Amino acid sequence: MIAILDYSAGNIRSVMDAVHRVGCEAIITADPAEIMRADKLIIPGVGAASVAMESLKSLGLDKLIPTLTQPVLGICIGLQLMCKHSEEGDIDCMGIFDSNVTKFKQGHLDSDGRLLKIPHMGWNSVNGLKTPLFESIESGTYFYYVHSYAPELCSDTIATSEHGVTFSGALNVNNFYGTQFHPEKSGEAGERLIKNFLNL
């Protein structure tokens, strides 16, 4: 059973649609018993990390999720909630990944000397790919991003992207994975990544 976490953080239906596109079924749930029984858990997310973290706490899931032993994939805010701390709302998160989430700073220029926009929105290459999450995906493949905050580089980084600074495009420690980009919005490469996760 594949579970998609429902904690009022948005983007749930598009993640469900992406799972369906790779030929799998999933349930949408916030029930701790169902989450513990699931073979895989996906934590989607769009919005503010501080609000999403408070939602997890209200459901008691901030304590449960770090104890899970099945593969877990956090997407965008879902990844950020698994980091140590987020500047967005100055909130402590679940501390699964050894990274802090920081805001992109104004004033950075791209390679053509143009001012980089915040939020970082659109397609960007993802490099230095590691782990079976990226099986059959080449370094430099483009994925879709929408964010103003990003996880810093750390020992758990398994992919990087650049937007004025180099940041973690994906993280992994043990059974926990996270992508700052949105695989459900990233075409064939995103479908491949979701399929790879579901095959772990």
Which tens digits make up the pLDDT trace of 75-129?
999 999 999 999 999 999 999 999 999 999 887 777 677 788 899 999 999 999 9
Q: What is the pLDDT of residue 45?
A: 85
Paired tokens of 141: 């493949």
Which pLDDT belongs to residue 113?
A: 76
Q: What is the pLDDT of residue 31?
A: 97
Q: Look up tokens 């799998």; give the residue.
A: 24
Tell me phi and psi for residue 134, to 5 degrees. Answer: -105, 20
- Chain segment 120-171, per-residue pLDDT in tens: 999 999 999 999 999 999 999 999 999 999 999 999 999 999 998 999 999 9
pLDDT recorded at residue 149: 96
Residue from 76, 88, 93, 147 carrying the catalytic annotation: 76
Classify domain 2-198 at the CATH topology level.
Rossmann fold (3.40.50)
Strand partners, 149: 103
The reply to whether 182 belongs to the active site is yes
Whether 76 is catalytic: yes
pLDDT of residue 193: 98
pLDDT at 172 over 90: yes
Find the catalytic residue in 83, 182, 188, 191. Answer: 182
Q: How far is CA 188 from the centre of its chain?
A: 18
- Alpha carbon distance 74, 44 (integer Å): 6
pLDDT score, position 10: 75
pLDDT tens readout for residues 178-199 = 999 999 999 999 999 999 999 9
The pLDDT of residue 200: 96
What residue segments make up the domains of the chain, in order of their start? 2-198
pLDDT for position 4: 97
Q: Are 110 and 79 in contact (CB under 8 A)?
A: no
Single out the catalytic residue among 88, 147, 163, 184. 184
85 catalytic? Reply is no
Compute the 3-state secondary structure of the chain and give helix, strand, coil in percent, each to the nearest 5.
Answer: 30, 30, 40
Determine the Cα–Cα distance for residues 145 and 69; give it in Å rounded to an integer: 28
Structure confidence at residue 8 as a pLDDT band (50, 70, 90): confident
Give the model's pLDDT for residue 68: 98
Task: Report which of 45, 42, 44, 11 is spatially closest to residue 26, judged by C-alpha positions.
Answer: 42
Helix residue ranges, H only, 65-182: 77-80
φ, ψ dihedrals at 56, nearest 5°: -60, -45
